[in-house]
Amino acid sequence: MADPEGLFEPVLVSDEIARVTSAANWVQKMVEVECSLSQAQARLGLIPASAAEAISLLASSHNLDPTEMGRAARSSATPVIPLVRMLTAKLPKEAMPWIHYGATSQDILDTATMLVAKESLQVILNKLFELCSDLAALAERHRDTIMVGRTLMQHALPYTFGLKSAVWLSGILDSTLGLERIYTERLAVQIGGAGGTLAAFENAGTDVVMLVADDLGLNPARIPWHSQRQRMVELGSALVMVNGTLAKMANDIALASQAEIGELAESLGAGGGSSAMPQKVNPVGSIVVNAGFRRAQGLLVTLYGCLIAENERGAGEWQAEWQSIQELLQLCGGAVSRSLTMVDNLFVNESKMLDNLELSRGNVMSERVLQAMTRLLGRTEAYDIIREATIQSALNGTPLSDELQKVEAFRESFNSDQVQELFDPFSYLGSYREFIDRTLDHWQEIQNTWKVPSGDRNMD
């Protein structure tokens, strides 16, 4: 199976996910579906056992060229028609009538897509497991590493990098729940025959579906879903959700790596170079994850548009899904791999975090001071006093506490020890320890069952 090809694909797509989602693997999975179908039919007496045996040998000997098949598909708008012709030509004469017996193109390609998705999600979920392990360790290591929290791009309150890491971890865990559900519940065999009734299978249609599902390790569908495309939309949505959550983390890292901030760096002295400026170490991991998410959003729109497949088989919607699903799997797989590398090599500049917190000259403690003064003066008067003091602090480049000392009401209300306590950022971190602990406990609870779930398949 090929590595990512072309000029642009290798930038966004990891080698591992490229191999799983390659055209060669898609063809292989279509052949495996044809083989599984013939075996199920033979067990139920629908086709000769000798024919099923001959067809099954094709799984390891077909040697089909995906590009040749794709070109041959131009006349039919489906690669399954040339697939069946090419496979039939490789069979002994007595087995030729029995390949693809009672099936239709969408049965083969949809089921193959489910198999490709299953392999892809195994890769993605396992790497997400590693990523969450790394983030949990980061949250624990830096639970008390103080920094400034920012809202609307401005300094807000004291924060810790451990809490920031826990927030990243929590978001990734939440977004992964949807992907786990797809893996365990929604990857289903699609076999409906020519019109969705399995009429060609006589009275054995549902038995064929169950046997194929069991053989391929997919869920048996409650009813043929060839004209109901929710599974594809759910798969795409779950992938984009993970991709977007990773992009949020990547954006935070990119912002913190700006020279003026300097709190984080993806790596030191390696990668991310500029063709013109030798001094630059660009946050390339963050850039690539962000770019992949921007691309993925548009592909999801395409999948939602395919929900309106006409009657019993859509006229174009199905074809629009193929590359969209392929690229969404690739983009998500690439984003997870990049994010894992990014977190593994993340440099945390604790001293710079403290320096940046102190840039506000105590203004990040204004909420705490407001609460204390509100109890004495009422909210309106207290707010007006502190607001004016923050403005003067900015204009004069002075600490907020110095400006407040000029206000009689403040001087008379707080002694020096109380002022020091009011402006101590380490004592105004709220429930951060509890939030970190809750997130780490949640991760501890689920990690033993997350590594590619393998529970019983469900009738859905």
* Number of alpha carbons in the 13 Å side-chain half-sphere of residue 45: 3
Exposed/middle/buried for 382, CB within 10 Å: 0-12, 13-18, 19+?
A: buried
Residue 34 to residue 410: CA distance in whole angstroms:
81
- Angle at which helix 432-450 crosses helix 161-181, to 10 degrees, equals 30
- Residue 228: both structure tokens together: 């109901």
Q: Which residues pair with 148 in a beta bridge?
A: 158
What's at 16, amino acid-wise?
Answer: E
Q: Name which of 85, 94, 41, 37 is nearest 62 in CA terms.
A: 85
Supply the DSSP symbol for 452. Answer: S
Supply the DSSP symbol for 253. Answer: H
Q: 63 CB contacts (<8 Å, ≥6 apart)?
A: none
Q: Which of 50, 60, 76, 274 is catalytic?
A: 274
Q: Which residues pair with 188 in a beta bridge?
A: 219
Residue 280 to residue 272: CA distance in whole angstroms:
7
**Is residue 274 flagged as an active site residue?**
yes
**Is residue 379 flagged as an active site residue?**
no
In the block, tokens 């203004």 appear at 363
The sign of the dihedral angle between the CA atoms of 97, 102, 106, 112 is negative
In the block, tokens 């067809």 appear at 55
Q: Name which of 69, 160, 53 is nearest 108 in CA terms.
A: 69
Q: Which of 19, 150, 295, 313 is catalytic?
A: 313
Q: Which residues pair with 149 in a beta bridge?
A: 157
Instruction: Round the CA-based radius of gyration of the chain to a whole number and report it.
Output: 29
Supply the DSSP symbol for 4. Answer: P
Residue 218 to residue 231: CA distance in whole angstroms:
13
Judge whether 13 and 109 are in contact, CB under 8 Å.
no
Residues catalogued as catalytic: 274, 313
